[in-house]
Structure 1
Amino acid sequence: MGKGKKVAPLKEYPLTGNLEISPGVYLLRFSQNFDFIPGQVVKVGLDDKNPPRIYSLCSGNQEKEAGILFNVKEDGLLTPQLAKLIPGDKILVSEPYGSFLGTPEPAWWIATGTGIAPFYSMFQSGLGENKKLIHGVSYLNQFYFEDELDWAMGENYVRCCSRESSCDTFPGRVTDYISTQESLPDVKYYLCGKALMVVEVRDLLISKGIPYANIMAEIYF
């Protein structure tokens, strides 16, 4: 933050929905009036007593409602409270910001868990063409938005599941899937997930000849 630059205050927005789409994982939606680039984040809070948390927007940039995808952390200060909200309740949201931005150029999107949020935003904003989405989770019920993504992306939507199996998922982690690829295309690679996953995938891509400059990452805590 540059010296003397003021931080814009968070604004109040009414909730329009709060759906538990998987055990402990919620898609919160609220009326919004801001513009954003798919992939950007916002700060979300409930009051001025506790610091807000950062979440990727999980909705298309032409929609009237914005979405936030989050998993409840039992010892967290914010997510257990967010999970209890109902339509009509208010949340505090910052202006969108960030440099993890979707583009129309060919790319691989690699995510684990709720790290799929910015890629779903890009997909919903019309940037799904020429993309390959690889989503890694532990259990089959964690493939958020899978019906929609499978219908639209077909074989370019790869589900990797490490603790359960099915006929249409890769048995293992995203790193296992990438390791099976004999060669990788010369495209941009976007990574979103926990720090360990991002580091492991980045190093694996580099070992397979992908330039560091072609790898963009967003770390989820």
Structure 2
Amino acid sequence: MNNTKVAVVTGANKGIGFAIAHGLGTMGFAVAVGARDDARREEAVQQLRVAGVDAFGVALDVTSDDSVAAAATAIEQRFGRLDVLVNNAGIAGRTDGGAQDPTSLDLEVVSTVLDTNVFGVVRVTNAMLPLLRRAQSPRIVNMSSNMGSLTLQTGPILAAYAPSKSMLNSITVQYARAFADTNIVVNAACPGYVATDFTGFSAPRTPEQGAAIALRLATLSDDGPRGGFFDDEGVVAW
């Protein structure tokens, strides 16, 4: 088995996910670019390779058990283990017609958002766990948002998206408790308000700035924090 550290980033074909993949690649990781869309995934892989990153594509739809299982098998066959998992794939959900106003909430939208933002993280994490357990210092980073903070109550009223991130933060804590006696370190990251197609490119922060906290949490020392929620400034109020 070679000594190259291996990372999987979900939703890595664009935006913050792409920036995280690039950042890990420049640190020397072999990076699996997980994405649903074949053409976009291959384009991202080519861009990363041009930038000198050891990148390869993995078909990965976080809402599909079969797709996630196949992705884990692909990583196992290629490397035999996984050092870093960044659960970055996420959706905001429809907002038209008051779909995310709590007084007219479309429960189908809630279900769709949870399937990617929460259930998808569980699907991918649990499928990759056997591979993570084989690594020396495995790290899991769940990309959250301070919109999920019950204390801060930031951003627009989005009664599907914001609670999905609250639940993601909560499930991150449950994983940390389950991993307490292991070498697996898991935390949640808030990238801040980043200019991507997710935000209509109207935000002040670059994807690279948004990726910085994920890179830090992905490379924590063994005695680093567990089950926390962090941004560039430090701990985010929950």
TM-score of the aligned structures, taking structure 1 as reference length: 0.36
More helix by share: 2
More strand by share: 1
Q: Which has the larger radius of gyration?
A: 1
TM-score of the aligned structures, taking structure 2 as reference length: 0.34
